[in-house]
Amino acid sequence: MAELELVNLSKRYGKKVWGARGINLKVTDREFIVFLGPSGCGKTTTLRMIAGLEEVTEGRIFLDGKDITYLPPRFRDVSMVFQNYAVWPHMTVYDNIAFPLRMKKMPKNEIDRIVKEVSKLVNIYEYLGRYPRQLSGGQRQRVALARAIAVKPKIFLMDEPLSNLDAKLRVRMRTELKAIHHKTEATTIFVTHDQSEAMSMADRIVIMREGRIEQIGTPEEVYYNSDNVFVAGFIGTPPTNFMEVEVKTENGRMVLLHPHFKLELDDENAEPLKHYNKDKLILGVRPESMVILKNKDKAVFSERILVVEPQGSHQIIAIEMEGKIVKIVAPAFPRYKENELIHVSFDMKRLMFFDAETEKRLNPFKDLMEIQKV
């Protein structure tokens, strides 16, 4: 069992800088949690407080119901894997993994059994006799992982452990790490600022900005039910297109007015806006929720293509509206050309509305399962 609870956890550096502020989070047993957010948002700070490497300014940390806020790191039962692997260069792979176990005064044959077991798990068994300098970056990172796994911590903390690897190896290690997590079932918190890494690995994602949590949810929840403009813009590539529109009523129908189009809302879309009384809102449309039509009749707007970015499996079409780049994900064929006139409509079931001032979501989807079916 390993359940972690952070209650109103905050860290202030000096008088003014908040590294993390009012963090509330419950991590359940065996869960794989990912902290995601731009540089400086407080991911490392929060992780280091959990590990006991950073003094807490306010709040509490509970591990399996026990208050560990002021417990020294070595009594916490957590292992941390860092970005720069931090393996000991003068020790063989075997000794790197065995060292923390020797420190625990574990019997020699028991240590030997564990070293062999975890090195097989992370695929470095054949390198046990080598020194770190004789290994590739990915292999070295696996040594660091093996060493962390060997001590059987209650919680695994990983701070951008894949960021020093090249793009291809990174993607492969993602899959391997997930497979290792399935085998060890260790409760894990993994830090990254790469949203696609977060989406592909997490049970739940914690999205942070400026020391605070913006949203916590499964990959589907944060994608389809983004709570605010920041989350909708951070999750997904290319990012969500945002357009400021005027909200009007014409002949009893609610319409959204943009300099380039007028969008009449159906009852389903108008419903959540019934009590919205500001005259502007922010319309969010994901690039794959824009559809290129053959003819003009049903289009929301028509524009000329600025740039086409072929991706093999699909193509990304960029147009410009009101000085802003709007991106559309289209199937690979037909191939579009720069300067071609296209007619575009929206998938009306995927429109996102945000308050023009608070940037909060106005129309969360009620039933995510339902949205995934249509």
Ligand X SMILES: Nc1ncnc2c1ncn2[C@@H]1O[C@H](COP(=O)(O)OP(=O)(O)OP(=O)(O)O)[C@@H](O)[C@H]1O
Which residues here bind ligand X, judged by CB under 6 A? 13, 17, 19, 37, 39-45, 193
Q: How many residues does the chain have?
A: 374
CA distance 189 to 205: 10
Contacts of 334 (CB under 8 A, 6+ apart): none
CB of 82 to Mg ion, least distance (A): 10
**62 to 16, 24, 155, 227: CA distances (angstroms):** 27, 11, 12, 27
CB atoms < 10 A from the CB of 95, how many? 15
* 50 closest CA partner among 7, 89, 16: 7
- CB closer to ligand X, 45 vs 226: 45
- CB closer to Mg ion, 37 vs 138: 37
Residue 44 interacts with Mg ion (CB under 5 A): yes or no: yes
CA distance 199 to 46: 20
- CB closer to ligand X, 41 vs 351: 41
- Which range, of 38-46, 109-117, 165-173, 282-290, touches Mg ion by CB under 5 A? 38-46
* Residues of this chain, 190-209, that bind Mg ion according to CB under 5 A: none
CB of 17 to ligand X, least distance (A): 5
CB of 45 to ligand X, least distance (A): 3
- CB closer to Mg ion, 80 vs 124: 80
CB of 270 to ligand X, least distance (A): 39
DSSP reduced 3-state for 85: coil
Asked whether 31 and 190 are in contact (CB, 8 A), the reply is: no
- Which range, of 44-52, 96-104, 265-273, 317-325, touches Mg ion by CB under 5 A? 44-52
DSSP reduced 3-state for 356: coil
Q: Which partner, Mg ion, ligand X, none, binds residue 19 by CB below 5 to 8 Å per kind?
A: ligand X
The residue number with the shortest CB distance to Mg ion is 44
CB of 160 to ligand X, least distance (A): 7
Residue 225 interacts with Mg ion (CB under 5 A): yes or no: no
- Which range, of 7-15, 41-49, 168-176, 209-217, touches Mg ion by CB under 5 A? 41-49
Would strands 32-36 and 187-192 be described as parallel, antiparallel, or unpaired?
A: parallel
DSSP reduced 3-state for 136: coil
Number of residues that bind Mg ion (CB under 5 A): 1
* 156 closest CA partner among 164, 148, 144: 148
Tell me the torsion sign for CA atoms 139, 51, 98, 33: negative
Q: Which partner, Mg ion, ligand X, none, binds residue 325 by CB below 5 to 8 Å per kind?
A: none
Q: Which partner, ligand X, Mg ion, none, binds residue 41 by CB below 5 to 8 Å per kind?
A: ligand X
CA distance 354 to 362: 5
CB of 36 to Mg ion, least distance (A): 12
CB of 83 to Mg ion, least distance (A): 8
- CB closer to ligand X, 4 vs 285: 4
Q: Which two tokens stand for residue 265?
A: 């809302």
Q: What is the DSSP string of 200-255?
A: HH-SEEEEEETTEEEEEE-HHHHHHT-SBHHHHHHSSSSPPEEEEEEEEEETTEEE
- CB closer to ligand X, 45 vs 289: 45
Q: Which partner, ligand X, Mg ion, none, binds residue 36 by CB below 5 to 8 Å per kind?
A: none
Would strands 280-285 and 290-293 be described as parallel, antiparallel, or unpaired?
A: unpaired
CB of 135 to Mg ion, least distance (A): 24
Q: Which partner, ligand X, Mg ion, none, binds residue 79 by CB below 5 to 8 Å per kind?
A: none
Q: Which partner, Mg ion, ligand X, none, binds residue 39 by CB below 5 to 8 Å per kind?
A: ligand X
CB of 38 to ligand X, least distance (A): 7
User: Which residues sit at the interface with Mg ion, rule CB under 5 A?
Assistant: 44
